């Protein structure tokens, strides 16, 4: 097995794929749907924001290990953050997995396990689908985002 | 092995065939390329690359327009390509061969010309559950415009058409049956002659999507009896951007034109335009001349090897691959029809096909992962996506072994 593969499919990612965290519906919040028409991956992100702070966030859907683990890790990372902080985190995350800029991984916490995605450009959309959907759930609840 | 053999009883020499395809020599991530994505597109033999090159170096000019020598040569080559296609499909007349961009455009052409002229409100168009989006959406657009209805023939769990259901769906409102010759997901070879036999006495026209068939099984449009047959050049070792619509002459003649422009006209005044004869009335604008010439070179290449021999070679390889994949723990094949072309769609335990595809790629093995432009079929099969290995004449048992070994790596990663 190549080093890049080991890097991509780290134990943490496989664990989040097998046992996704916050994999549930939030009844009294907002939500948005995201899908990748190229591969058929679908995700719904649920969100509860109070006074600009993300009180609760969860997701449901079907997808590859990368998209599922990324969604799971995202929910853990943004819970308790303000919407602005979550947006800034998404931007740093995107820089990390596309390999652009200085990739300040130190401020990304456990999201750094997804850094291996940068070796697999065709999988970047899998890793960002949940984040785009989260952004839509904040900005335009009930909306549908597509990677294409 | 003898160098000149016409009987397909003599097995195809895959090692010799492989040498004709320069791209197969390369390595991917340090591993020899194992190209198993032939249902998406096929690789090109040197003969095709040379034919396209020769056209641009020696003959490039517009066709049917110039008085100069180059234009004459380009026109001769372009029309010779049409005759090559006619022979390949055993069409009765070269005027029944229309060059288009690909299968998708061919189907849209039929929907927008024959379809718009003949389909009315409450009429029905019959397609099948295994159709590619390109043989669903053009008919949906037509139905929407006309207030007509789309009826869908179901498939069995093995991936065969329910012919009893098909027959039940046909009625006096049915105007068109559109069906794939070979399924790009299941590999099922559909009984086109039988489908035609049930439709034609009722005056129903049959449109066949041959994209996945032509490179793998002999096609004789007169024996099939279909009204239209469409295929793409790039899936039969030719260039992208060129394809063919075959249509029965009387039908093509009676149909309204498709796109308007140069090349498809008889005489133009601001008051009125008359249109050119077949096949030019459907070929507005400068066609993909190099593409048509490259496609003809591909058909010549395949014919020299023998489509029957290719079919029999692939059948043996498919059976080997089916056996080898069946032994991979947790692997489930989708599409197990007895009449099947060399397409192997599968799911591997609960590993998502995208992850399978990524890991196989790192082992040099190219497969497709996803819904294969067949979302309704995926829903029928109850899977969001599949991985798909599709074989062609240059694939070998070693390729299949490499696939199986790479699948073990997938299982290693996912535990």
Cα distance from A74 to chain B (closest Cα, Å)? 20
| pLDDT of res. A105 | 60
Average pLDDT, chain B: 95
Query: For B378, which residue in chain A has the nearest alpha carbon?
Result: A40
Query: For B368, which residue in chain A has the nearest alpha carbon?
Result: A39
Delimit the CATH 3.90.1150.10 region(s) of chain B: 14-45+306-414
CB nearest B370 (choices: A40, A42, A66): A40
**Chain position carrying tokens 């047959």:** B229
Q: What is the CATH number of the domain that holds A119?
A: 3.90.1010.10
Task: Give A1's contacts in chain B (Cβ within 8 Å).
Answer: 362, 409, 412-413
Q: Round to whole Å and give the CA distance between B133 and A143.
A: 25
Q: Give the lowest-confidence range in A96-100, B113-117, B214-218.
A: A96-100
| pLDDT of res. B5 | 45
- In tens, the pLDDT along B134-179 reads 999 999 999 999 999 999 999 999 999 999 999 999 999 999 999 9
Query: For B408, which residue in chain A has the nearest alpha carbon?
Result: A1
pLDDT over 90 percentage in chain B: 92
Domain membership flag for residue A67: yes
Delimit the CATH 3.40.640.10 region(s) of chain B: 49-303
How is residue B104 written in tokens?
């998708």
CB nearest A5 (choices: B352, B359, B378): B359
- What are the two backbone dihedrals, phi and then psi, of residue B398, each rounded to the nearest 5 degrees? -65, -40
- Contact (Cβ atoms closer than 8 angstroms) between residue B240 and residue B292: no
Interface test with chain A among B352, B379, B385, B412, by most A beta carbons within 10 Å: B352
pTM, to two decimals: 0.93
Interface test with chain B among A8, A15, A40, by most B beta carbons within 10 Å: A40
Statement: residue B191 has pLDDT above 90: yes
**Residues of B tagged active-site:** 373
- In tens, the pLDDT along B218-272 reads 999 999 999 999 999 999 999 999 999 999 999 999 999 999 998 898 999 999 9
Task: Give A40's contacts in chain B (Cβ within 8 Å).
Answer: 370-371, 375, 378, 384-385
State whether residue B352 sits within 8 Å of chain A by CB: yes
| pLDDT of res. A104 | 59
Task: Give B359's contacts in chain A (Cβ within 8 Å).
Answer: 5, 9
CB nearest A9 (choices: B29, B385, B413): B413
Q: Round to whole Å and give the CA distance between B184 and B382.
A: 17
Nearest to B125 by CA among B115, B117, B133, B112: B115
Statement: residue B357 has pLDDT above 70: yes
Helices within chain A (DSSP H only): 3-8, 11-18, 65-78, 83-98, 124-139
CB–CB contact A5 B369 (8 Å): no
- In tens, the pLDDT along A9-18 reads 999 999 999 9
B93 band by pLDDT with thresholds 50, 70 and 90:
very high
| Mean pLDDT, rounded, for B198-225 | 98
State whether residue B360 sits within 8 Å of chain A by CB: no
CA-to-CA separations, B309 to B41, B175, B215, B235, B397, in angstroms, rounded: 21, 37, 11, 18, 17
Return the CATH fold of B14-45+306-414. 3.90.1150
| pLDDT of res. B2 | 42
Cα distance from A11 to chain B (closest Cα, Å)? 9
Q: The CATH number of B49-303 is which of 3.40.50.300, 3.40.640.10, 3.10.450.50, 3.40.920.10?
A: 3.40.640.10
- In tens, the pLDDT along A25-46 reads 999 999 999 998 777 789 999 9
**Which pairs count as long-range contacts for B249-252, CB under 8 Å and 24+ apart, including other chains?**
B249/B92, B249/B93, B249/B95, B249/B96, B249/B278, B251/B114, B251/B205, B251/B227, B252/B95, B252/B96, B252/B98, B252/B278, B252/B279, B252/B282
Helices within B127-275 (DSSP H only): 137-146, 163-169, 192-199, 221-224, 249-254
Mode of pairing for the β-strands spanning B27-28 and B31-32 = antiparallel
Mode of pairing for the β-strands spanning B386-390 and B27-28 = unpaired
**Strands, E assignment, B277-403:** 331-334, 343-348, 365-366, 368-370, 386-390
**What is the ipTM, given to two decimal places?**
0.89
Average pLDDT, chain A: 90
Domain membership flag for residue A23: yes
Domain membership flag for residue A146: no
- In tens, the pLDDT along A56-95 reads 999 999 899 999 999 999 999 999 999 999 999 999 999 9
Q: Which domain holds residue A101?
A: 3-140
Residues from A contacting B (CB-CB < 8 Å) are 1-2, 4-5, 8-9, 14, 38-42, 62-66, 120, 122-123, 126
CB–CB contact B352 A65 (8 Å): yes
Statement: residue A142 has pLDDT above 90: no
CB–CB contact B370 A62 (8 Å): no
State whether residue B133 sits within 8 Å of chain A by CB: no
Domain count, chain A: 1
């Amino acid at each position: 097995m190549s080093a890049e593969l080991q890097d991509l499919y780290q134990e943490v990612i496989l664990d989040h794929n097998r046992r996704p965290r916050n994999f549930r519906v939030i009844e009294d919040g907002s939500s948005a749907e995201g899908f990748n028409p190229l591969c058929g991956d679908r995700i719904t992100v649920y969100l509860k924001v109070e006074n600009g702070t993300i009180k609760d966030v969860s997701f449901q859907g079907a997808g590859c290990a990368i998209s599922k683990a990324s969604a799971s890790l995202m929910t853990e990372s943004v819970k308790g953050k303000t919407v602005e902080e979550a947006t800034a985190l998404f931007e740093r995350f995107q820089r990390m997995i596309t390999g652009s800029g200085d990739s300040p991984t130190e401020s990304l916490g456990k999201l750094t396990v997804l850094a291996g995605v940068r070796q697999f450009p065709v999988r970047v959309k899998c890793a960002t689908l949940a984040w785009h959907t989260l952004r839509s759930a904040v900005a335009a609840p009930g909306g549908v985002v597509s990677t294409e | 092995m003898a160098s000149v053999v016409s009987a397909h009883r003599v097995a195809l020499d895959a090692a010799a065939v492989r040498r004709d395809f320069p791209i197969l020599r390369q390595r991917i991530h340090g591993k020899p390329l194992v190209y198993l994505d032939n249902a998406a597109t096929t690789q090109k033999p040197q003969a095709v690359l040379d034919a396209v090159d020769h056209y641009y170096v020696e003959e490039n000019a517009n066709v049917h327009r110039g008085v100069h020598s180059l234009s004459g040569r380009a026109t001769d080559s372009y029309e010779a390509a049409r005759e090559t296609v006619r022979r390949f499909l055993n069409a009765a007349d070269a005027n029944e061969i229309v060059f288009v961009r690909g299968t998708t455009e061919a189907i849209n052409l039929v929907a927008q010309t024959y379809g718009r002229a003949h389909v009315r409100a409450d009429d029905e168009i019959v397609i099948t559950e295994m159709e590619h989006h390109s043989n669903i959406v053009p008919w949906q657009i037509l139905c929407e415009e006309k207030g007509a209805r789309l009826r869908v023939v179901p498939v069995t769990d093995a991936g065969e058409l329910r012919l009893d259901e098909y027959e039940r769906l046909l009625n006096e409102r049915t105007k068109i049956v559109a069906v794939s010759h070979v399924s790009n997901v299941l590999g099922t070879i559909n009984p086109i002659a039988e489908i035609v036999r049930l439709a034609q006495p009722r005056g129903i026209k049959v449109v066949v999507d041959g994209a996945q068939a032509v490179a793998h099984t002999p096609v004789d449009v007169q024996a099939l009896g279909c009204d239209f047959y469409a295929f793409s050049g790039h899936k039969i070792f030719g260039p992208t951007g060129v394809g063919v619509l075959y249509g029965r002459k009387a039908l093509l003649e009676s149909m309204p034109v498709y796109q308007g422009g140069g090349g498809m006209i008889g005489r133009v005044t601001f008051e009125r335009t008359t249109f050119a004869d077949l096949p030019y009335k459907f070929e507005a604008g400068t066609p993909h001349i190099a593409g048509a010439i490259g496609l003809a070179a591909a058909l010549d290449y395949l014919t020299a090897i023998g489509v029957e021999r290719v079919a029999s070679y692939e059948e043996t390889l498919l059976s080997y691959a089916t056996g080898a994949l069946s032994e991979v723990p947790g692997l489930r094949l989708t599409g197990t029809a007895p009449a099947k072309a060399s397409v192997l769609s599968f799911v591997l335990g609960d590993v998502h096909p995208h992850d399978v595809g990524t890991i196989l790629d790192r082992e040099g093995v190219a497969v497709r992962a996803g819904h294969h432009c067949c979302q309704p079929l995926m829903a029928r099969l109850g899977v969001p996506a599949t991985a798909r290995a599709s074989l062609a004449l240059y694939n070998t048992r070693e390729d299949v072994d490499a696939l199986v070994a790479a699948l073990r790596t997938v299982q290693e990663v996912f535990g």
